[in-house]
Amino acid sequence: MRGAAVRIENLTKIYPDGTRALNGVSFSVAPGEFLIIIGLSGSGKSTLMRCINRLVDPTSGKIFVDEVEVTALPPDGLRRVRRQIGMIFQQFNLVKRSPVITNVLSGRLGYVPPAWSLYNYFPRSLREQAVAHLATVGIPEKAHTRADQLSGGQQQRVGIARALMQDPKLILADEPVASLDPATSHSVLRYVEELNRRDGITVMCSLHFLSLARRYGTRLIALKAGEIAFEGLPAEIDEQRFKEIFGEEAVEVEIA
């Protein structure tokens, strides 16, 4: 499998209340890259992520995923692009009352005939695939547990399995480990890294922690107040550089 290429041109998002979340952001992501987007809270990381699959509609600018202009797609075409883009969330965003397997299978909804969904029907092959994806993230035995019975790390792994169910070319991970403790953070990110290395899936991942960013990223973008403040290799950014970009106050909170 080959990962998707992403190109972003002059992307701007102004929310109805006047907040300028993104201001003329342009960059490209090559297939198979593990791009880290780093920045403080409110720097526009989440907005950037959500613009790519248009959970948030940008105010201006263009986004291309594999040369398809996402920003110009009608609803049908948008759904076809979305189903190839897996998304992982800070709050996991699982349906808590549903069993794990249903949460994983819901990643396939963009492909199955809509009539199946009324009866919550998925063919056996998809069910087996879902369990296989759960095995990939190390929790095959949790398939029939209710999602809210799992620990945070386990829930995020269900989130990854749900994204895998989409056969994604691109994974958007929006602060995937911000709600997890350091040890669990590493285990979750290692799964994402494995998908990136083994299957060549392009990953765009926003993070709070510089240490994690330098450990997992193949390239890094730093956002500050909706603009790109740094773009380069993770090795090129050290604490000194980080402080220059974000100021002294970022140190304690962000580099733990």
Partner 1 sequence: MGTNTETPTPRAPEVPRPGAGALRVILWLIFVGVIYVYGWQVTQINLGELGRKAYLIKPLANDLIRPDLIERRPRLQVADAGIGLDGAAAPAPLETRGPGRITLSPTQAAIGARVTVSGEDFAPSRPVDIIWFDQSGVKVQLTKASTDASGRFQAAVTVPNVIGTMHHIMAEVGLEGTTLGPSNALRLTLFRMVETVFLALMGTTMGVVLAVPLSFLGAKNLMARNPIGVFVYYVIRTVFNIARSIEPLILATVFAVWVGIGPFAGVLALGIHSIASLGKLYSEQIESIDPGPIEAITATGASMLQVVRYAVVPQIVPPFIAFTIYRWDINVRMSTVIGFVGGGGLGFLLMQYINLLQWKQAATAVWAITLVVAAMDYLSAVVREKVV
Residues 21-60 that bind partner 1 (CB under 8 A): 53, 55
Give the residue among 38, 31, 34 at the shortest CA–CA distance from 2: 31
Residues 172-211 that bind partner 1 (CB under 8 A): 172
CA distance 254 to 199: 31
141, 144, 249, 256: residue in contact with partner 1 (rule CB under 8 A): 249
Q: How far is the CB of 236 from partner 1 (least distance, A)?
A: 28
Give the binding range for partner 1 (CB under 8 A) out of 15-23, 31-39, 130-138, 160-168.
160-168
Say how many C-beta atoms besides its own lie within 10 A of residue 97's C-beta: 9
Give the residue among 188, 191, 5 at the shortest CA–CA distance from 85: 5
Q: Does 79 bind partner 1 (CB under 8 A)?
A: yes
Whether residue 123 contacts residue 115, with contact meaning beta carbons closer than 8 Å, is answered with no
12, 23, 59, 93: residue in contact with partner 1 (rule CB under 8 A): 93
State whether residue 125 is helix, strand or coil.
helix
Q: Does 122 bind partner 1 (CB under 8 A)?
A: no
Tokens of 229: 């403040």
Q: Does 225 bind partner 1 (CB under 8 A)?
A: no
Give the residue among 85, 84, 57 at the shortest CA–CA distance from 72: 57
User: For binding to partner 1 (CB under 8 A), which residues are involved?
Assistant: 53, 55, 79-87, 89, 91-98, 102, 106-111, 114, 117-118, 120, 159, 162, 165-166, 172, 249
